[in-house]
Amino acid sequence: MQITVLAGGVGGARFVRGLLRTPAVADDPGSTVTVVGNTGDDITLVGLRVCPDLDTLLYTLGGGVDEEQGWGRAGDTREVKAELDALGVGPSWFGLGDRDLGTHLARTRWLGQGLSLSEVTDRLARRWGLPERQVRLLPATDTPIETHVVVDDEDGGERALHFQEWWVRHGARLPARRFTVAGLADAAPAPGVLEAIRSADVVLLPPSNPVVSIGIILGVPGVREALRGTRAPVVGVSPLLGGRPVRGHADACLAPLGVEVSAAGVAGLYADFLGGWLVDDADADATFPPRLPVRALDLLMRDEAGAARIAGAALDLAAELSPAVPVGDR
Ligand code: GDP
Ligand code: CA
């Protein structure tokens, strides 16, 4: 089975890690999971290109993530960061681990040598053993894009700041007027992205941030059209449980869009291509768009087995929606 997943960082990576444990993937060496990763969070820091969501996917799927934090390398130190702080070279608010810096140094060097982000990501994916785990990781686009957040400034006007500064430094507490994505309108989908959507047996939307993770991937020209046109059922998992994000600030991202902070509100963002929707038991009685197949279950990914259970339910719903999806003991 060919499964394509559009993913942000922590929520996306944990879901995909669970997906790899489902019998549909684990027991079928012919199954492939293509992960299309968000690149809107990307940022250049001390001259290094950092791709937070791709790195979280690499480390999580490769078995090297800091589990507690959800991102960064397990057992990492911050010696370089401490020295940069002592030298007054910022930004001080962004966590850069020493091992993690190895990734950013390699990526920056390879980009400087003329490799595309796809080619760089492919090299990093091999270092983390992703092909052996039946995973292909594609950036949504090779075109550099950056999500910016427009907030009020002190003089009653507005100013834009990089998404990471808003999210990490300010904890998403500055009310967002809107999000803009530099470079997005002219971005091209990375090689393989549209094909992965068009030729998939199933497309899954993990519980990733609907605005600044999945929303950015959907904004890459051609992606949304491919989702509308694919023969594969598109099944999504709500990132909001009882109207609240499990972690992060998805609520602060939905507010400026005027979208209700709920599982139903998020489903509405995908209405033009969504085939089925998984929500938490807490939302079982909510009102969803008419004719949208909705299933309620415990959506908290407490551990890998929990993530596998949710991913299996997503595949089950896909099989219900499409005769082409093999039904089995997922
Ligand atoms: P980020 O790039 O690291 O912010 O990660 P993502 O965009 O992939 O995912 C963030 C979203 O994942 C947030 O809106 C969380 O509410 C959601 N999330 C995190 N853990 C869980 C979980 O266990 N279950 C569900 N349903 N959603 C989760
Ligand atoms: Ca992210």
Q: pLDDT at position 329, please?
A: 46
Name which residue sits closest to atom 6 of ligand 1, judged by CA.
208
Q: What is the pLDDT of residue 295?
A: 98
Give the strand pairing for 294-297 and 48-50.
unpaired
Residue of 6, 10, 261 to mutate, ligand 1, most atoms within 8 A of C-beta:
10
Distance CA 21, CA 115 (A): 32
What the block records as the tokens of 119 is 């080619």
In the CATH hierarchy, which fold is given to the domain comprising 2-143+186-321?
Rossmann fold (3.40.50)
Which residue blocks in 147-201 are alpha helix, DSSP H? Answer: 163-164, 193-198
Is 299's C-beta closer than 6 angstroms to any atom of ligand 1? yes
157, with CB counted inside 10 A (0-12, 13-18, 19+), is: exposed
- Model pLDDT, residue 324: 78
Which-ligand-closest: CA of 6? Answer: 1
Distance (Å, whole) CA 81 – CA 292: 48
pLDDT at residue 330 in the model: 47
In angstroms, the first-to-last Cα distance of the chain is: 12
* Ligand 1 close to Cβ of residue 40 (< 6 A): no
Assessment of whether the complete model's pTM goes beyond 0.85: yes
Residue 312 structure tokens:
């299996």
Q: Determine the pLDDT at residue 323.
A: 77
Q: Residue holding tokens 């090297």?
A: 64
Rounded Cα distance between 210 and 220, Å, is 14
Q: To test the ligand 1 pocket, which listed residue (58, 60, 65, 247) has its Cβ within 8 A of the most ligand atoms?
A: 247
Q: Strand 32-37 to strand 2-7: parallel, antiparallel, or no bridges (unpaired)?
A: parallel
- Per-block mean pLDDT, blocks of 10 residues, the chain (330 long): 98 98 97 98 96 98 97 97 94 94 98 98 98 98 98 94 95 96 98 98 98 98 98 98 95 95 97 98 95 97 98 98 72
CATH 3.40.50.10680, the chain: domain bounds: 2-143+186-321
Q: Which residues surround ligand 2, an ion (CB under 5 A)?
A: 8-9, 41, 53
> Using one digit for the tens of pLDDT, what is the confidence trace for 76-92?
999 999 999 999 998 99
Tell me: the pLDDT tens digits for 264-312? 999 999 999 999 999 999 999 999 988 999 999 999 999 999 999 999 9
Best CA proximity match to 326, nearest among 245, 256, 215, 233: 233
Is any ligand 1 atom within 6 A of the Cβ of residue 208?
yes
Kindly state if the Cβ of 84 falls inside 6 Å of ligand 1: no
Give the number of the atom of ligand 1 that is nearest the alpha carbon of residue 244: 16
- Predicted local confidence at residue 170, as pLDDT: 95
